[in-house]
Amino acid sequence: MAKKRIAILTGAGMSVESGLGTFRGGGGLWDEYPVEQVATPEGFIANPSLVLEFYKKRRNELSTVEPNEGHMLIASLEKDYDVCVITQNVDNLHERAGSTNVIHLHGELTKVCSSHNSQDMRYVRELSPEEPYIELGDMCADGSQLRPYIVWFGEAVPRIEDAIMALNDIDMFLIIGTSLNVYPAAGLLNYVPNSVPVYLIDPNDVHVNSVRNVVIIKAGASEGMRTIINKYLP
């Protein structure tokens, strides 16, 4: 008998309990660093050193934290269900928790790529623990400066089609720790079949711009996942 399929969309709130800061909201990283300076192609052209230093700090931060209970509970679902995690996060905490099918919509912090073509997969590579940073002058094999493998503002989201495909024939859709304000990820709810139950886990009030019924679980990622497992999963 085939396993039931669960798709899970996660945002920055998924990793808050691990100690990673969010980008939006009061005290978020965008309050400290203007988006246009560190998260756009234009910012990288104008001041690549600043951009590389910003992501160096993000990698340093990531190296000091661990997956939280919410990450672990999501990974544990794979024992009984066919699970696909679609994440807006650039950290690797889902993988470190044990999730094996993760679609990163906005790139991956631990990887680098070509600045000529960030989506040329021939040049995307994982940074090693021994050399976890890139500096100005570190070149890609295509002759360009290496850059973070991050989807910046103004760039296409290449894996959105993979995410849409992952919503085919699912039995449950979970949304965890995202304000549903960032597109195209926020639009994924529109591709979930009407017969599929949808649950949203977030400790904050989230406005769902949809006519469909969404069960709201007002809790953090870990507490919310415990509720899902204990109350809504067979």
**Residues designated catalytic:** 106
Query: ∠ CA 45-46-49 to the nearest 5 degrees?
Result: 85
Residues constituting the chain: 234
Pairing of strands 172-176, 5-10: parallel
43's tokens = 């910012």
DSSP character string of 20-74? PPPSSSTT-HHHHS-HHHHSSHHHHHH-HHHHHHHHHHHHHHHHT----HHHHHH
Determine phi and psi for 164, rounding to 5 degrees: -65, -45
CA distance 227 to 224: 5
